[in-house]
A and B are shown apart, each in its own frame.
Chain A
Amino acid sequence: MTARRDMPGSEERLARRHRRFGWTALFAWMCGGLVLELFHGFKLGDYLLDPVRRELWTLAHFHGALLSVVNLVYVRWAEAPGTSAVARGRASWALIAGSVLMPVGFLLGGLQHYEGDPGFGIFLAPLGALALLYPAAVQMRGAWRRRE
C-alpha cells in the first residue's frame, strides 16, 4: 500500500472518506446488533414474535456491518490502476450510497410491514443493491485491465 503521505490529494480524500464512513457505519450497525441481542435477552415480543420484522432487521444489521467492512477494504483497492479518477469518484459515492440504502431499506421495511411483505421502505434495498453494483463493476473492470 502506498504510504499516505505519497497519495495524490483526491485519492487521500477518497480513502479518508471511506475510512470515516466505514468505521462510523460499522460502529452504528454493531450497536444495532447489540440492540437485537437485547431484544432477545429481554424477550421483546414486538421483535421476537414478528417473523418478518426479525428477518428484515437481521438482514439490516448483517448487510450494514458487512458493507461497512467493504468500505474499509475499499480504501486498499480504490487506487487500483486501470481505473480513471472520475470512475473512482463515482464508484466511491455509489458504494457509500449503496451501503446506506440497502441496510436502511431492510430496517424500514421491517419497521412497518404488511402480513407477507416488508413495508414500502424495502424499495430502498434494491436501489442500494443497484448502487453497489457500480463500484463492483468498476473494480472488476479495473482488475482485468493489463497493468501499464
Chain B
Amino acid sequence: MAAARTEETRLAPNPVVRIGTALLGALALLAGLATMVRSVAIDVTTPVDLSRVSYATSRTCVMCHPGRFETWHRTFHRTMTQRADRGAVLGDFEDARLVFQGVTSRFTREGERHFIETLSPDGVMARHEVVMTVGSRRIQQYVTRIGGRHVRLPLAWNIEERRWIHLNGGFLHPDGSDFNTHRADWDNNCIFCHNVKAQPRYDERADAFDPRVVELGIACEACHGPAEQHVRRNRDPMRRYFLHAGGRDPTILSPREMTPVRQIQLCGHCHGQRLPNPPQRLAEFILVGDPYTAGDDLGTFTAPIGAHTELPGVDLRQRFWRDGTPRLTAYEYQGLLMSKGHAGTELTCISCHEMHGGDPRGMIRPEMRSQRGCLQCHAAIGLDVRAHTHHHPTGPGSDCYACHMPPTTYGLLAIHPSHRITNPDPAHAARTEMPDACTLCHTDRTTLWAANEARRWYGEDAAEAAPKGGGEIAETVRALLGGDVVQRAVAVNAMTQEASYTTDATARLWVVPFLLLTMEDRYPAVRHFAYRGLSRLVRRAQAASGAPPSARLPDFDYLADGPDRAAAIARCWSWWRSLDRGRIAHPGPGVPLDADLMPIRAEVAAMTVRQAQNAIAIGE
C-alpha cells in the first residue's frame, strides 16, 4: 500500500503543469477551430462561376435533401423523359392495335423491350423498338432510334383515357394530314426542354446525332444549376453547419433568391418557345448543346417567339391571338411578360407555382387555384369582392382566374388558363377575334351584351365600346360555328366546363346540338373536345337530377373513319331527339335554336362557311 502511494506521488504531475498543459491544449484546439471557421467563412463568401461547374445529377442531391428530392420525385417534371423500361412505359403493349387512316399499327412487348410497328415515311410498315418515353401525365409519346438519330413516332398513349391515339388528333391538324406529319427528330428538338443540359452533338459528315444530357427529364440542376462543387464542398460538416447558422451558399442557386427576371427566365427556358439569338447561334445549339445555365440571362442565348417572329416554313402567327396573346401552351413565358402591369413587379412563376409541394398537376398548391393566389398581392380587393367582380363573392364569377387568366390556351388535348394576365374587355376581344372572359362563362350571351355590362360596371376608361355588330349571336356559339380551330376548341371547353353562368346542370344542355354538330368537325382534336365535353355535361345533368338516364349517350371515337363517325353521330342525334327536353329552357334569341332545341340550319350554315375559310394547322 505504501509502495503504491509512493508510486502515485512520484507519477502524479505538478498541478501547475497539468493546468498549463490543459490550457495550452484548449487554446490550440480553439485556434484550430477558429482557423477552420475562418476558412469556411472565406469559402462561402467567394463567388463561384457556375457556368464552369460540372453537373452532379439528382442522385447526389437526395443525401442531404431527402425532402426536396421526394417532392421533386413525384412530379411530372421527373418523368418527362425516361428510358423505356416497364416502370416508365404506360401504354398498352400487349399486342394492342390502332387503326388510323387505314393503317393498323401494332404495339408489342418482348420481356423488357417494347415495339411499335407502324407506317414509315417511305410507305412501308416498319417495327421500331422504343428506347425512351416522353410525357407521363396526359399523353405519353415514344422515341425510337433510326439510323443516326432518335425519332419521336406519331403514335401516343392517351394516359387519361387509356387508349392509343395518332398525334394528328393530339395537335391541331385537320383530317387528311400526312400520317407522318408528327414523326419528329428528338435530338435537335424535344431534347432541349425535356431534359437537363441537352447536347445534341450533331456530326455533319455522318448526318447523325450522338446526344448527351446530364439527366433525362427535368431534374434538380435544371433550376438550381450545376451542383458538382456544391456536393463536393458540402461534404465538410463544418461548412454545412456554418451555412445552417446563416449565410448563402454560392455553389448552388435558389430560384427564390433570384431576381424576378431571372426567376421567370428559369421557367421560360422551357415554358416559352424560343429561337437562338442571334440566329447563327443555332449551330452552337445543334453541334455542341444548349449554352444556357440556370441563373444566366436567357436573352443572351435565345429570343422568345412572338406573333411577329419569322421562321421559314412555319406561320407562327397562328400560335397567337391577334393581339399577340399566346394561344398555345409552352408560351407561358411570353404571356407573363405581356401581362398588364407585370414589368417592375415581384410577380413571377413561383408567385403561384410550387416546385416542391402542392399538386403535381400544375405544380401548384390547391389554395393558389383560388382567390388566395391573387389576394396575396391584391389584398384590398379581398375586402369587398362583390364590389370588384359584380358577382357573388364565392361563385365562379368571382374566380380571379376566370376573368384575368381565362381558359384560352390549347395544349395536349386540353384548354388551359392564359398566362397573359389582363382585365376582361369584351369589345377589345371582339375586335381581335379572341375569346373574352365574360362570354366564356355566359355562353348564351352576345359580345354586345358583355361589352355594355363591362362599361357599365367599370367605366368607359376600363373597357372599349362595343364593336358594330356582335349583338345578334351568342359569342361562344359564333366562335364554335365560325371560328378557327383554336377558337372552336376554346368555345367547346367554355360550353362544357364545370364553371358556368348557371348552376342548373340540366339547363346547360341547350348546347348539345352544337356539340353534336362539332363532332363532325374536320379537326380530330375538336371532335374529341366536343364528345368529351358532351359526356361530361350529360353526366353532370344526370347526377344533378338524380334520375336514372333515360337513354345512354352512344359511344363515339373521334379517330374512327368517317363513315363510322357519321353513324355514331346519327345515333347521338337519335339519342338527343329521344330525350325529354321539356326541362331545358331555351337560352334566348342569341342562340340559333328552334323551339324544339334543334339548330336553325340556315343560321348555322352561314356561320360554318366562315369556319371553312379559317382552315389552319398548328403543330408543336
Contacts and interface: CB of A to CB of B under 8 A. Distances in A.
A116 B64 contact: yes
A120 interface: yes
B438 to A, nearest CB: 45
Contacts of A51: 66
Interface residues of A, number: 10
A3 interface: no
Given A85-B8, A86-B12, A117 B68 contact: no
B67 interface: yes
Contacts of B65: 115-116
B25 to A, nearest CB: 13
A84 B65 CA distance: 49
Interface in A36-57: 51-52
Contacts of A120: 241, 244-245
A5 to B, nearest CB: 18
Contacts of B63: 116
Contacts of A115: 64-68
B8 A86 contact: yes
B11 A84 contact: yes
Interface string B63-86: 111111000000000000000000
Q: What secondary structure prevails in chain B residues at the interface with A?
A: helix
Nearest to A114: B244
A87 to B, nearest CB: 10
Contact of A84 (B8, B67, B68, B245): B8
Contacts of B12: 86
B431 interface: no
Interface in B32-83: 63-68
B254 to A, nearest CB: 13
Contacts of A52: 66
Contacts of B256: none
Q: Which of A51, A114, A116 has the most CB of B within 10 A?
A: A116
A117 B66 contact: no
Interface string A19-50: 00000000000000000000000000000000
B241 A117 contact: yes
A84 B64 CA distance: 46
A110 to B, nearest CB: 14
Contacts of B64: 115-117
Interface in A112-140: 114-117, 120
A52 B70 CA distance: 14
B240 interface: yes
Nearest to B8: A84
A116 B8 contact: no
Contacts of B68: 115
Interface string A87-117: 0000000000000000000000000001111
A120 B240 CA distance: 11
Nearest to A85: B8
Contacts of A114: 244
Contact of B244 (A84, A85, A86, A117): A117
Nearest to B67: A115
A116 B8 CA distance: 50
Contacts of A86: 8, 12
Contacts of A85: 8
Contact of A116 (B11, B66, B245): B66
B240 A117 contact: yes
Interface in B409-437: none
Nearest to B3: A148
Q: Which of B11, B66, B68, B241 has the most CB of A within 10 A?
A: B241
Nearest to A52: B66
B301 to A, nearest CB: 33
Interface in B104-153: none
A120 B241 CA distance: 8
Nearest to B244: A114
Nearest to B240: A117
A50 B359 CA distance: 21
Contacts of B237: 117
A86 B241 CA distance: 37
B534 to A, nearest CB: 44
A74 B579 CA distance: 90
Contacts of B245: 120
A47 B596 CA distance: 65
A117 B243 CA distance: 11
A140 to B, nearest CB: 19
A96 B67 CA distance: 36
B449 to A, nearest CB: 53
Sort A-B residue pairs by CB-CB distance and give the 3 closest, nearest first.
Answer: A116-B64, A115-B67, A114-B244
25 contacts: A51-B66, A52-B66, A84-B8, A84-B11, A85-B8, A86-B8, A86-B12, A114-B244, A115-B64, A115-B65, A115-B66, A115-B67, A115-B68, A116-B63, A116-B64, A116-B65, A116-B66, A117-B64, A117-B237, A117-B240, A117-B241, A117-B244, A120-B241, A120-B244, A120-B245
